[in-house]
A and B are shown apart, each in its own frame.
Chain A
Amino acid sequence: MKKNISIYFTILIIMFNFSCGQEPNDKNEIIVTDELNYEMELVFENDGIIWGLEFLNDNSILATLKSGSIIHFKEGVKKELKGVPEIYLRGQGGLLDIAIHPNFEKNKFIYLSYASEDIEGKGGNTTISRAILNGDTLEELEVLYKGTPDSRKGQHFGGRMEFDNENYLFFSIGDRGNRNVNPQDITIDGGKIYRIKDDGTIPKDNPFYNDGNAKKAIYSYGHRNPQGMFKHPVSGKIWTNEHGPRGGDEINIIEKGKNYGWPKITYGINYSGTTITKNKSLPNMEQPLYYWIPSIAPSSFEYISSEIYPNWKGSLLAGALVFKYIERIVLEDDIVVSRSKIAENLGRPRDIKQGPDGYIYVSIENKGVYKIMPNK
């Protein structure tokens, strides 16, 4: 009997090693420590997924719900915006991000990203629209970009948006669950970062503007599903994080016309444990600034420029959907040197934004919006 038990354990250990062996090796691992000296303060409660957060100059909050509505939270009161476009709710798709124009005070322009369906039953794709906010109503809604073709796949809509210093709008569309076709083909949408002007026209100096059949709005390609994006306050560059498969979530600095490699190169593997590619690098494909193994599932990315939090200035925040915490990432010369956890077990953090008041706001799924308060 004793012998049997020891054999049993040996088999167990072998099995355990085997299953670990299936995880991507080559870990880019930094021990994640616990962050101290802060508290999470509830700003308002809300059910569902608040996918995007934006602030008006009066520090009131605009919050998009994935299910298709927008909340305006001002002085303790929640109102629902009118004039929100019809969305295609399917898998990871729905109403996604919201952004205000850098000159919002003058032009009142609001930008929305969402999945829309052109023909009922034929599926949808990521759409970028602009509207004018008049009181609590969106008016003169205009579609600026629509990814094609529509697809009934439920995956990888991307959908984050960010303005750069020249008022160009950057946004992402994920590979729409068609990785073998979309990300490496610049004549098709999906698996790309795009750059358009604030009125939807395409800048003539976009990298593929003069490339015959290319989608001219493409700025970079070879992405899987970028859902975190910020403008670096010093360099003015657009930084993204993207969901990898199993392992291989990435941080990238977006450079014009570059290929970020998906699915030709990746640090991840299939969910089932099988290999996607043996290649982690290839010529003419960008290496990520950092990759996560295991995946944290980041759907938000923010740069802390605020002075409110002692020692946090200059570090990055990424929400880990799968581990239910917010990760603070410290860089030195664009190399990740430390990672720490904030708000562990509060819930799934969907979006993170620094408000005009300098505080960091976070939307937690099925909980609401929180503010990170430094301890005195």
Chain B
Amino acid sequence: MRFITLTILLLATTISAQDETLSNSIERGKLLYEDFCVRCHMPDGKGQKGIIPPIAKSDFLFKHMEESIKALKFGGIDGEIIVNGVKYNSRMEKMGLYDDEIADIMNYTLNSWGNKYDKIIKEDYVKSLKK
């Protein structure tokens, strides 16, 4: 019994620590989004149809997450992409963001405007991505 209580307690602490990490990251990501992304992708994450792809409820983002993170890290995606059935072909410039900032922006966008993602994107993972 005691063991179970301890386990539950431990588990609860881990979960809440993780929650806190995620919510802090989301908070930082929001500020970064407002600095680096909002002008094109808009405050509601809907982009500009046919010109700038949406991030809000974007099928591309969830289907090609690694490619999306690489686009932030190395500057855009070459060629045409289709997001929610609409074609886009305007390459995003490299923003000069640090890996931890990219993780924060990802965590914010993956959990905003109806998006939901149950894992945290971490700095180490962003760091490990190669062109």
- With A271-B43, A272-B43 given, is the CB distance from A49 to B93 under 8 Å? yes
Query: Residues of B contacting A47 with CB < 8 Å?
Result: 91
Residue from the list A67, A155, A322, A365 in contact with B94, Cβ < 8 A: A67
- Contact in complex: A91, B91 (CB < 8 Å): no
Classify the interface of chain B: helix, strand, loop or mixed.
loop
Query: Residues of B contacting A66 with CB < 8 Å?
Result: 93
Q: How large is the interface on B (under 10, 10 to 19, 20 to 34, 35 or more residues)?
A: 10 to 19
Classify the interface of chain A: helix, strand, loop or mixed.
loop
Within 8 A of B (CB), among A19-41: none
- Contact in complex: A366, B96 (CB < 8 Å): no
CB-nearest residue of chain B relative to A89?
B96
Check: B124 CB closer than 8 A to any chain A CB.
no
- Contact in complex: A155, B90 (CB < 8 Å): no
Residue from the list B36, B43, B48, B91 in contact with A154, Cβ < 8 A: B36
Annotate B44-67 by CB proximity to A: 1 below 8 A, 0 otherwise. 000010010000000000000000
Check: B130 CB closer than 8 A to any chain A CB.
no
Query: Residues of A contacting B51 with CB < 8 Å?
Result: 324
Residue from the list B35, B42, B43, B90 in contact with A91, Cβ < 8 A: B35
Within 8 A of B (CB), among A201-248: none
- With A272-B43, A324-B51, A366-B91 given, is the CB distance from A177 to B35 under 8 Å? yes
What's the nearest-Cβ distance from chain A to residue B38, in Å?
5
- Contact in complex: A91, B95 (CB < 8 Å): yes
What's the nearest-Cβ distance from chain A to residue B105, in Å?
12
What's the nearest-Cβ distance from chain B to residue A181, in Å?
15
Query: Residues of B contacting A324 with CB < 8 Å?
Result: 51
- Contact in complex: B96, A88 (CB < 8 Å): yes
Tell me how many residues of A have a C-beta within 8 Å of chain B. Answer: 24
Within 8 A of A (CB), among B70-121: 90-91, 93-97
Query: Residues of A contacting B96 with CB < 8 Å?
Result: 88-91, 93-94, 154
Check: A264 CB closer than 8 A to any chain B CB.
no
Closest 10 CB pairs of A and B: A90-B96, A89-B96, A154-B36, A272-B43, A154-B35, A91-B36, A271-B43, A271-B38, A366-B91, A91-B95
| Additional 9 contacts, C-beta under 8 A, given A89-B94, A90-B96, A93-B96 | A49-B93, A67-B93, A90-B97, A91-B35, A91-B96, A154-B95, A271-B34, A273-B43, A324-B51
Query: Which A residues contact B (CB, under 8 angstroms)?
Result: 47-49, 66-67, 88-91, 93-94, 153-155, 177, 271-273, 322, 324, 347-348, 365-366
18 intermolecular pairs with C-beta atoms under 8 Å apart = A67-B93, A67-B94, A89-B96, A90-B96, A90-B97, A91-B35, A91-B36, A91-B95, A93-B96, A153-B35, A154-B36, A154-B96, A271-B39, A322-B48, A324-B51, A347-B90, A366-B90, A366-B91
Query: Which B residues contact A (CB, under 8 angstroms)?
Result: 34-36, 38-39, 42-43, 48, 51, 90-91, 93-97
